[in-house]
Homo-oligomer: A and B are copies of this chain.
Amino acid sequence: MAEQRRPDLAAMLGGLMRTLMAAESPVLAEHGLTMWGYVVLSALDDRPVRTQAALAKAIGADKTRIIGTLDVLQEDGLINREPDPADRRVRLLEITDAGRKARRSAQTRIQAQENRLLAQLPAGDREAFLRAAHVLSEIERN
């Protein structure tokens, strides 16, 4: 159980993130999506989020930061966004069919890119890596 010397985890993941972003941003651009646009569509596709405040919290962003993104997604017909009749302060959010289609198309391409990177790992490590990433990404999300 002795700790071995190793590079900082944050440094390794930071480098990997740069590689991933470089590979994926052209795919997003082809789909006419920004990174934040893709993040928002993904959040709305994976689980319904009623309000902008709930969405902001779900993706770890400030409520003011997502407004421009929502404006564009709405203009592009990728989300619906309308006042809640029961409480007209609130805007109800919903991904449209076009939004779902765009997101899933982008995701397929993005995960294919990711899989090409992951293919450089032995199968056992690859599975453990994804499993571990999933566990660790959910930590402190409370």
Given known A132-B121, A132-B129, contact A137–B11 (CB-CB < 8 A): yes
| Min CB gap A59→B, angstroms | 9
Smallest beta-carbon distance A48→chain B, Å: 17
Residues of B within 8 A of A114 (CB): 8-10
Instruction: Please tell me the number of chain A residues within 8 Å of chain B, measured between CB atoms.
Output: 48
Of the stretches A18-26, A62-70, A87-95, the one at the interface is A18-26
Q: Are the C-beta atoms of A111 and B11 separated by less than 8 Å? A: no
Given contacts A9-B130, A15-B60, A128-B129, 5 further A-B contacts (CB under 8 A): A10-B21, A11-B42, A13-B133, A125-B128, A126-B132
> Are B15 and A111 in contact, CB atoms less than 8 angstroms apart?
no
Pick the residue among B6, B20, B120, B138 that contacts A13 (CB under 8 A): B20
Question: Given that A19-B136, A111-B3, A128-B132 are known contacts, is A13 also in contact with B13, CB under 8 Å in the complex?
Answer: yes
